Structure 1
């Protein structure tokens, strides 16, 4: 008889819990599912379930995250902005339940988070990750079209349309035709939204503090956009953003100099629930982008999920949590600029390579 190691036994227990949970959620939905029944299905104790997942919500999110998988590539659109939007909408809409699917199965299929978070941190995180999704789609649209216009407002409008269709799939299954929704998204390309980048608070952000601190790159983490290593040893800007400050990613992107490498490390004080929700949403949007756009049009920034605060610690950010915003610029193996607080990502991205030390720190 082969004796399993403790790690192997834990992995087997975890897999059994996830399989049982998927069955329970598919049959009864999130609200009516019971942890005791999940434990019974897995032939485990209630304590064994909670030793792997701290709450039913964390377990549900783990089931959803496990359903994303690796997307297959599709033909990239060749007809400009309208075709890109139509292709993106079609891929996004594939997750919606089929007519006749039971409600619980449909919500698992669509990876719906409707009604899952009724607390302020959860709602804030979902609002902020939606802003990040719009940035990622907007950057892909900007790269895929010859014009130099900002496309984030257009991306926001497309995601509003698609999320509305997703909500109706939850509340009124069978209402509307996904092909019509995709067609409508395609025609949104013709709108003139006069999109510019000029947030009102930017003139009040102080400069980054120029330093000469040692940079010890953390253990490698995968870039959520490309699937490859993020490459923390390279020069560039690293922004550590909590789940409540994800919108600051655009501040770093817009302030960056041509050729700057921007890395966004996402942190949270609640990796079991908020962290999994962010992983799910980011995995869905990046999966769609990889299927629709060629690699040359993928957003140029690196995006990592810093669940264990490895990047935050290397950047000197203590107690990284949902409200965190901090950034450093790395050059030639040293941190040459740093800032913390609101506006930190912008301040560091805008910082030059001068060695003249300036006082002040963003967010003060």
Structure 2
């Protein structure tokens, strides 16, 4: 008889709870699901379920994240043009729409619906910010196909508005609309001139980054949410730690960066079980779609990690990271050469001059 380790037993219990929760949510919907019934399905106490997932909302989000992580992602050849890429992305995204025979509760789970799940202010704020981040990631993937380095964030926002609108209608009025029409409409959006420019009015007033020479001790690797690969933090570049109410600042770092700069965004939150899982769900969902339609060389030149245990935040000197955190540093040759904190910090550090390495014999001048 093989004896499981404590970690293996915990993983088996967690998997059983997730399977039981999926059945409960698919049968009764989020609002009418009961944690007690989920516990009964796996012969656990209510407390044992809560020891793995602190709330019904956290458990629901974990079920949705698990469904994405266990979906096979087959990469296809990239479509040749911007319109074709938008159409391909839309068709992959629309695969989640419920089928005619799905029950209302099962359809919501298939759709990964968050209707009625986040009705509090922290959740709504995080959802708004992560949607902005989704639009940025989609735009960066598309911009490699646009002439003259055109900004396509407004186009990406419009595409996501159309797709999410189709999703909400499928949730509220099953069978309404044709997903193929929606995909064709997304293709035609590529021809719109949205006069998209990057000129936030507050950036000229951002305080410049502080020049420092602090020792950099890189934390352990974390998975990059865009590529799915483990990434380290010992290379040169800009590292921005953003709370879930400041995710829009990711673009401020990207647009200010020099060619060749490596930009890493680490997302922190005071509520990893719920708000953190919300971010993981939405970003994993979007990037899974992108990986199916866009080749690796057209994906965003950005690394995005979820710093649930605040290891990155601690490494750059943030003692108590929260949802409003915005701190950034520039790392080069094993040292932190620039840092900034507060609104505009990501832009300030990305725009800071690159430190120069002293020539041999010039140190101390």
Same fold? TM cut 0.5: yes
Aligned to 2:223: 222
Structure-2 separation of matches of 1:307 and 1:354: 31
Aligned to 1:271: 272
Aligned to 1:112: 113
Following TM superposition, the consecutive aligned residue runs of length 4 or more in structure 1 with deviations greater than 4 angstroms are none
After the TM superposition, which residues 1-364 of structure 1 pair with which residues of structure 2 at under 5 Å, given as runs? 1-69=1-69, 70-78=72-80, 80-354=81-355
Deviations 1:171-220 (Å, cap 9, x if unpaired)?
11111000000000100011100000001111110100010000011000
Structure-1 separation of matches of 2:193 and 2:115: 31
Structure-2 separation of matches of 1:58 and 1:8: 22
Are 2:220 and 2:232, in contact at CA under 8 Å, matched by a contact in 1?
Answer: no
Deviations 1:39-84 (Å, cap 9, x if unpaired)?
1111111111111111000011110000003421123101x11111
Aligned to 1:360: none
Q: CA deviation at 1:224?
A: 1.1
TM (norm. structure 1) is: 0.95
Q: CA deviation at 1:255?
A: 0.4
Structure-2 separation of matches of 1:13 and 1:229: 26
Aligned to 1:358: none
Deviations 1:234-258 (Å, cap 9, x if unpaired)?
1000000011000000000000011
Q: CA deviation at 1:146?
A: 3.3
TM (norm. structure 2) is: 0.95
Q: Helix, strand or coil for the counterpart of 2:144?
A: helix
Structure-2 separation of matches of 1:42 and 1:7: 18
Q: CA deviation at 1:284?
A: 0.7
Q: Helix, strand or coil for the counterpart of 1:47?
A: helix
Structure-2 separation of matches of 1:255 and 1:209: 16
Q: Helix, strand or coil for the counterpart of 1:68?
A: helix
Q: CA deviation at 1:353?
A: 2.4
Q: CA deviation at 1:354?
A: 4.4
Structure-1 separation of matches of 2:12 and 2:95: 31
Are 2:58 and 2:277, in contact at CA under 8 Å, matched by a contact in 1?
Answer: yes
Structure-2 separation of matches of 1:353 and 1:314: 21
Q: CA deviation at 1:5?
A: 2.7
Structure-2 separation of matches of 1:202 and 1:323: 18
Aligned to 2:360: none
Structure-2 separation of matches of 1:316 and 1:143: 35
Q: CA deviation at 1:168?
A: 0.8
Structure-1 separation of matches of 2:144 and 2:319: 36
Q: Helix, strand or coil for the counterpart of 1:116?
A: coil
For this pair of structures, how many residues does the alignment match?
A: 354
Which structure 1 segments of 5+ residues have no match?
356-364
- Of 341-350 and 219-228, the range deviating more from structure 2: 219-228
Structure-2 separation of matches of 1:300 and 1:231: 15
Are 2:75 and 2:295, in contact at CA under 8 Å, matched by a contact in 1?
Answer: no
Aligned to 2:362: none
